[in-house]
Structure 1
Amino acid sequence: MSEITPASWTALTTLQTKAQAEGLGTALEETIEPDGVGVFEMEDGSGLWEVGAYFAEAPDETQLALLAAAFDAKPFVVSEVPPTDWVAHVRRELQPVEAGRFFVYGSHDAERLPAGRVGLLIEAAMAFGTGHHGTTLGCLMAFEALLDAGLAPGPVVDVGAGTAVLAMAAAKVWEGVPILASDIDAVAVEVAEANVRVNGLAGRIECLEAAGFDHPRLAEAGPYDVIFANILKGPLVDLAPDLAAHAAPGGHAILSGILNPQGDDVVAAYDAAGWDLVRRAEIGDWTTLTLRRR
């Protein structure tokens, strides 16, 4: 079924610091009241922060200019987004992805699942984290390499799970071990639960809303033999001690969401927290790290 969004508008700007960006985001919500506001650290290694506002109708550009000046931001760039049938777009653009034994596909490509492959079904309307991004693909390939090396089944947690594709990959190849998928975003948790059901894994994967390891179930189900964390450099560095605390001795962490120039910094942070580098791979602009707990 088509899901056509009407025309909308975006307004984007960049700032030097997180505090400025968060302040501008709050001011936007309190004054102009857009339909949505996002505050993100940019992934290009610049250290800049981006603030985006989303509108159903064209925004007042004078108000935006005043707010940008008040927070020392660059002028907002306002763009109209034309009506889009997003599901149709995704179905056109996202082809099945092969990562070793794993085959990631949408329901529109179900007939293309090869015999003997481990199928991971992600609906087109839930397309973030499908395996088409270099970070997710890198994590699947890193897990494939561990499996090929004889990694034994053990408890698994997928931190920042998104669609839970990585947790589902583990559940498809390992029976009878605890597998958890957590995300800080409640909508992502709902998406993860839906994907778990359509893949026939209900009851096999526990989906939780949590920031990092801040949930009692994440402590109860550990220590973990495999920890997936496909997020961003900053949170990964911050989480290094927590990953170590929740990992079994000799357990593995598979990390991505790391731009290639950021890889050395993440490796150094995890070395200091008690991890050894096992494998480092690049797909496009993105690095995936496999580490082993000392």
Structure 2
Amino acid sequence: MTKSQAKQQSAADAGSEPTFVARLIADEHTSRRIADLLSESLDPSETACAAFEQPDGRWQVDVHFRNPPDEASLREIVALAGGEEIARAVTFERVAPRNWVKESLIGLRPVAAGRFVVHGAHDRDRVPSHCISIEIEAATAFGTGHHGTTRGCLLALDHLARRYRPRHILDLGTGSGILAIAAAKLFRVPVLATDIDARSAQTARDNARLNGVGAFVTAIHAADLRAPEIMKRAPFDLVMSNILLRPLQRLAAPVARQLEPNARIILSGILKSQANAALTAYRSQGLMLERSFPLDGWFTPVMVAASG
């Protein structure tokens, strides 16, 4: 689950292109579950999804589409997470062209995870002074901190910072750069952020500068761990990776080879039902579970490398 940035705004802002919105209403838990599944199932270059609270306490899920959606397929996805009744109640609307990525994010509230608060520019003045602020541009479609995997990683980082001080950090699959920014703000040391998507690497660079840690965060486009910049900076004493189970399993051996003794790894993008499979892959490389952060059906372990 690399949180790749949506395609550049120019297509969405073209002015002649209509957009389409699918909308549903449900309770908070169901809305979040549906929004998570839709975000995982739909093409991020063509859609943006957000769940937010209504004044009456119910929650609304909006999915913005660049092109006309397949209504039957979308109802099937909604039914998997929310049931047939909610799926039948989904409404579809063709709307005037607008900045659909920004519109989908404006309704998102700030997200607190430990000492961190992730927010958009519209909430900049609402962040308490004692919190660590992470501002994500409203032009960024994914990696806004609202997903349970990202919040789990932030909680893990906050916990780790109270007892561990890394010096060489790698954020593998950085997306919007949230984790790299969080680590840079916490530890004030160099962070290498990589992504297989060049647009995401650029977004991470932009967001790092926006958050005042551009001097600490180096964000690069890298296809794998053999990239020259990664090899030059290895070994690492903290690696963070919020992607998906299968790529995490494939990365277990190559990541382990890039670790210092006693290094920590924060993994996410793992469903609770997949926890044993993820742990087995990394235990086979000599790492041990130090602590885990289960949240909203997701599992975020902190693992520690052997002492050498």
TM-score of the two chains, using structure 2 as the length reference: 0.69
Name the counterpart of 1:131: 145
Deviations 1:246-272 (A, max 9, x none): 111100000001111111100001000
Q: Match for 1:96: what amino acid?
A: P
Aligned pairs (5 A) from 1:38-77: none
Distance 1:117 1:172, change over 3 A: same
Q: 257, 262, 265: which is aligned to 1:253? A: 265
Distance 1:126 1:51, change over 3 A: closer
Distance 1:281 1:52, change over 3 A: closer
Q: Match for 1:165: what amino acid?
A: I
1:89 aligned onto 2:71: no
Contact 2:196-2:223 within 8 A present in 1 as well: yes
Name the counterpart of 1:195: 207
Q: 167, 172, 177: which is aligned to 2:185? A: 172
Question: Secondary structure in 2 aligned to 1:82?
Answer: strand
Contact 2:101-2:141 within 8 A present in 1 as well: no
* Gap regions ≥5 residues in structure 1: 11-42, 60-78
Distance 1:53 1:249, change over 3 A: closer
Name the counterpart of 2:51: none
Contact 1:7-1:81 within 8 A present in 2 as well: no
Name the counterpart of 1:120: 134
Quote the Cα distance in structure 2 between the aligned partners of 1:255 and 1:228: 6
Question: Secondary structure in 2 aligned to 1:278?
Answer: strand
Name the counterpart of 1:30: none
Name the counterpart of 2:293: 281
Q: 141, 145, 151: which is aligned to 2:159? A: 145
Q: Match for 2:180: what amino acid?
A: A
Name the counterpart of 2:217: 205
Distance 1:7 1:265, change over 3 A: same
1:157 aligned onto 2:170: yes
Question: Secondary structure in 2 aligned to 1:168?
Answer: helix
1:7 aligned onto 2:13: no
Q: 230, 234, 240: which is aligned to 1:218? A: 230
Deviations 1:47-81 (A, max 9, x none): xx98899697769xxxxxxxxxxxxxxxxxxx977
TM-score of the two chains, using structure 1 as the length reference: 0.73
Quote the Cα distance in structure 2 between the aligned partners of 1:206 and 1:195: 11
* Gap regions ≥5 residues in structure 2: 1-8, 22-35, 47-64, 70-90
Name the counterpart of 1:110: 124
Question: How many residue pairs are counted as aligned between the two chains?
Answer: 235
Return the offset for 1:122.
0.5
Identity of aligned residues (%): 36
Which stretch shifts more, 207-216 or 224-233?
A: 207-216
Distance 1:154 1:130, change over 3 A: same
Distance 1:200 1:50, change over 3 A: closer
Name the counterpart of 1:19: none
Q: Comparing both chains, which one has the higher relative contact order based on Cα–Cα distances under 8 Å and sequence gaps of 6 or more? A: 2
Question: Secondary structure in 1 aligned to 2:206?
Answer: helix
Alignment root-mean-square deviation, CA: 2.8
Quote the Cα distance in structure 2 between the aligned partners of 1:169 and 1:110: 16
Distance 1:125 1:52, change over 3 A: closer
Distance 1:241 1:81, change over 3 A: farther
Return the offset for 1:273.
1.1
Quote the Cα distance in structure 2 between the aligned partners of 1:51 and 1:141: 28
Quote the Cα distance in structure 1 between the aligned partners of 2:285 and 2:213: 34
Name the counterpart of 1:182: 194
